[in-house]
Chain A
């Protein structure tokens, strides 16, 4: 019951967006022009065909960023309970050290294999 306003807002937002597009599509003038139909590339003339392949380096960097970012995320809950467990014994520090070491080995592997080389 308490989430009805959210649903309403979703509906209103969607309908406004669709409505404006629909209105402009049906009511607006239709005057196609070669320069108007070119693909948009930040205001300059398009350089190449849109279908050319994108280098895989972008993908590699993105995926590696994702992996290490998730590792960073894992640090947050650990940091929250760190103080409490540190008073018992130092195992919590060692455990996170092992985790970081495992990911570090992965990092060195990536580094030495040249996945982060740009050229």
Chain B
């Protein structure tokens, strides 16, 4: 029973989900405001409980299937915050009819519960199960615009890719389970530590698990879904997916890589080294470099704004992987910092894009011509958010990118850091094309101005302000992230 207190946030989320579902079946699409409010209250209380849980200390609970450590607390708060932002962003989107919002919120909550469990699970089966739940809910979210062909395509694509990756994941896990006869990753770590896994088996299982997780995070071998899914899904869903499923993939990746394939280094604390003879950091480096280049070159060719952002996200994932392969707490802290920055930046980008799409009806850059004159604060904020994603000063994305590149360069991955710098430069071109279309023909007679909406402006400010604060208080966030990754090996 005492263990139950650790999963109080998920319990609150489940209760909120129950309330939202009951609300839906009672009101059948009416009273969406009430239900949204309920959802927000539930999320808020879950967030408060998640933040309180930071003080509980670490534990492995429920027969060692869940590991409640710094990483869990960090990611749980992250996901609940993401859900809150997504629910708030929902109110301004015309792509989803009002009557369908409650079900959407229910799906969001279910995905959040799944993501929290994925981030905290210390058991191979539970990891697989939660990732599958994340994916299943994701394809409902992706295909939410039932009547749109693109949404259907997005949903099916997501489903097929996630099915393949689920299969690969479980196959990789099975190999490791067959060797170690235990499902708890910390016990497996101890067993592999003593008697190393066969080289070939380790290679195969690493490849399978990594390819499966590369679908989740949107990195090189399985990145194909990202442009189509993020383009076809309704924009609020795209925002949630772009951050949520990717970050849950990263959470699982961090845990699995550092427990199953690495061990604490002998000479210094805070550093890891590869366990066994498999040289997987090079594999990760290859994947990271390729993702960065592919993402950036794809982004240059895109005509639709949402697809361009999706390709920039592929490149961003490549950069984030650099934080993992350095096997150092500095790298992982930089990775976590970047995820926090991404949360606000990507949510902001998609929120403003959904607003622009509402007004114009499409998100092709040619149709967005001249938006700067119409809706100046929105376009300027959009440019600022994209700058943050790319990593251009003065936005905090630059500090994050610099931390990642620096971590790689410090460990001697010079070519990788060079690729990262080059991809930063090229992504600036892509952004500048979008910005240029937004500017359009500035001197032409402007159409009537957009109605001033206080809640839209305040929501944008709500996203922009924490973003700027993460820049100013970078040191605090980096040290908090560093503390989070001190997790126990039982």
In the bound assembly, the distance between CA atoms of A106 and B25 in angstroms comes to 10
In the bound assembly, the distance between CA atoms of A112 and B27 in angstroms comes to 10
Q: Which of B1, B25, B28 contacts A108 (CB 8 A)?
A: B25
Interface status of B48 (Cβ within 8 A of chain A): no
Quick check: B25 and A112 within 8 Å, CB to CB?
Answer: yes
| Interface size grouping (class) on chain A | under 10
User: Beyond A112-B25, A113-B25, is A105–B18 a contact (Cβ under 8 Å)?
Assistant: yes
Q: How many residues of B contact A (CB 8 A)?
A: 9
* B24 to A, closest residue via Cβ: A109
Q: Cβ of B24: which chain A residues have Cβ within 8 Å of it? A: 109
Quick check: A105 and B1 within 8 Å, CB to CB?
Answer: no
Q: Cβ of A109: which chain B residues have Cβ within 8 Å of it? A: 21, 24-25
Total A-B pairs in contact (CB under 8 Å)?
17
Interface status of A91 (Cβ within 8 A of chain B): yes
Render B21-35 as a binary contact track against A, CB cut-off 8 A, 1 for contact: 110111010000000
Quick check: B1 and A91 within 8 Å, CB to CB?
Answer: yes
Q: Which residues, 2 to 44 on B, are CB-close (under 8 Å) to A?
A: 14, 18, 21-22, 24-26, 28
In the bound assembly, the distance between CA atoms of A109 and B27 in angstroms comes to 12
* B17 to A, closest residue via Cβ: A105
* B1 to A, closest residue via Cβ: A91
In the bound assembly, the distance between CA atoms of A87 and B274 in angstroms comes to 48
In the bound assembly, the distance between CA atoms of A108 and B25 in angstroms comes to 8
Q: How far is the CB of B182 from chain A (nearest CB, A)?
A: 21
Q: Which residues, 62 to 119 on A, are CB-close (under 8 Å) to B?
A: 91, 102, 105-106, 108-109, 111-113
Q: How far is the CB of B347 from chain A (nearest CB, A)?
A: 29
In the bound assembly, the distance between CA atoms of A31 and B300 in angstroms comes to 65
Q: Cβ of A108: which chain B residues have Cβ within 8 Å of it? A: 22, 25
Q: How far is the CB of A62 from chain B (nearest CB, A)?
A: 18
In the bound assembly, the distance between CA atoms of A113 and B25 in angstroms comes to 7
In the bound assembly, the distance between CA atoms of A113 and B26 in angstroms comes to 10
In the bound assembly, the distance between CA atoms of A45 and B91 in angstroms comes to 56
Q: Cβ of B26: which chain A residues have Cβ within 8 Å of it? A: 112
In the bound assembly, the distance between CA atoms of A108 and B18 in angstroms comes to 11
Query: A109-B25, A111-B25, A112-B26 known; 9 other A-B pairs, CB under 8 Å?
Result: A102-B14, A102-B18, A105-B18, A105-B21, A106-B21, A108-B22, A108-B25, A112-B25, A112-B28
A-B residue pairs in contact (CB < 8 Å), sample of 11 = A91-B1, A102-B14, A105-B18, A106-B21, A108-B22, A108-B25, A111-B25, A112-B25, A112-B26, A112-B28, A113-B25
Chain B residues in the interface with A (C-beta under 8 A): 1, 14, 18, 21-22, 24-26, 28
Chain A residues in the interface with B (C-beta under 8 A): 91, 102, 105-106, 108-109, 111-113
